Copies of this chain bind each other. A is one copy, B any other.
Amino acid sequence: MELIVEAVSHQYGATEVMADISFTIGSGEIVTVIGPSGCGKSTLLRFLGGLERPTSGKVFIEGAAPDGSLNPLTYVFQDFALLPWRTVEGNVRLVLDDHRLSASHTDEIVDDVLARTKLSEFRSAWPRQLSGGMKQRVAIARALAVRPAVMLMDEPLSALDSQTRELLMDDLVELWGRERFSACYVTHNLAEAVRLGHRIVVLSRRPGRIREVVDIDVPLSERATRMAELEVTQRHLWQLMRDEAREADRELLHVD
């Protein structure tokens, strides 16, 4: 499945959040989005997921979802959005309940995703009993459970320790290798961006515009071992982001 963003602009009241953004997420392609805080990354992702409508412009979807995909367009919320009155397991089951799967099939999926996110031990814990990282893992487990064709992820790994993050990244890459889902991945971690993105969309500060789109040719599965090659890209992105921040700083000074 493909997602096409066409000339999207948006305002909240008088605040212009983003202007004229267009790009395409090809089938089986992972696009990472980076940009300064408050530039509209989460908002853009909400448009992609149909959670909100832009002031102008449109988002299209093309192509059939693969068989067995329960919720082709799946959104992972930045603030987790766990139901506090359901246990870890209950939060995962929630999204499977409506799909008339056999009980054993449901159990299988739940066991599988909880094991993959290392939460098996905590299946009956309440959200309030979880650490920040664990909550995030529940949100990821819930998204994996519906076998998405397009994953929309808003800083999915930001609350995790570096090793768990590393492992989940490997997991994502492996999963992608098997299922070739498409994804839009918002992050502020440049290493993650170059590690996971076929394409990297760099947004400018608010109002967010596309500042540059960087393609990376190295296959995902080889990136872990070829990080050195990617250093160049990462440093380039770093430069871009710093310029943005500097300009923002200068503007602020001007305003003060």
A residues sitting closer than 8 Å to B (CB atoms) are 12, 34-38, 41-42, 78-79, 115, 118, 120-121, 129-134, 137, 155, 158-167, 188-190, 238, 241-242, 244-245, 248-249, 252, 255-256
Known: A160-B37, A161-B34, A256-B115. A132 touches B42 (CB 8 A): yes
Closest to A237 in B: B162
Q: Decide: A158 and B159 in contact? CB cutoff 8 A.
A: yes
Q: Decide: B37 and A164 in contact? CB cutoff 8 A.
A: yes
Q: Decide: B164 and A190 in contact? CB cutoff 8 A.
A: no
Report how far A163 CA is from B131 CA in the complex, Å.
Answer: 26
Contacts of A167 in B (CB 8 A): 245, 249
Q: Decide: A131 and B164 in contact? CB cutoff 8 A.
A: no
Closest to A246 in B: B163
Q: Decide: A42 and B158 in contact? CB cutoff 8 A.
A: no
Closest to A248 in B: B118
Q: Decide: A131 and B162 in contact? CB cutoff 8 A.
A: no
Q: Decide: B161 and A132 in contact? CB cutoff 8 A.
A: no
Contacts of A238 in B (CB 8 A): 162
Known: A161-B188, A189-B162. A37 touches B134 (CB 8 A): yes
**Additional pairs, 17, CB under 8 Å, beyond known A42-B132, A78-B159, A161-B188:** A36-B161, A36-B164, A37-B131, A37-B137, A37-B161, A38-B130, A41-B131, A155-B159, A159-B188, A161-B241, A162-B189, A162-B238, A162-B241, A163-B244, A164-B188, A164-B245, A167-B249
Report how far A62 CA is from B126 CA in the complex, Å.
Answer: 37
Contacts of A38 in B (CB 8 A): 130-131, 133-134
Which 10 residue pairs spanning A and B have beta carbons closest together? Answer: A37-B133, A161-B188, A163-B245, A163-B241, A38-B131, A37-B164, A37-B161, A78-B132, A158-B158, A38-B134
Contacts of A78 in B (CB 8 A): 132, 159
Q: Decide: A242 and B163 in contact? CB cutoff 8 A.
A: yes
Report how far A165 CA is from B256 CA in the complex, Å.
Answer: 22
Known: A38-B133, A38-B134, A167-B245. A255 touches B120 (CB 8 A): yes
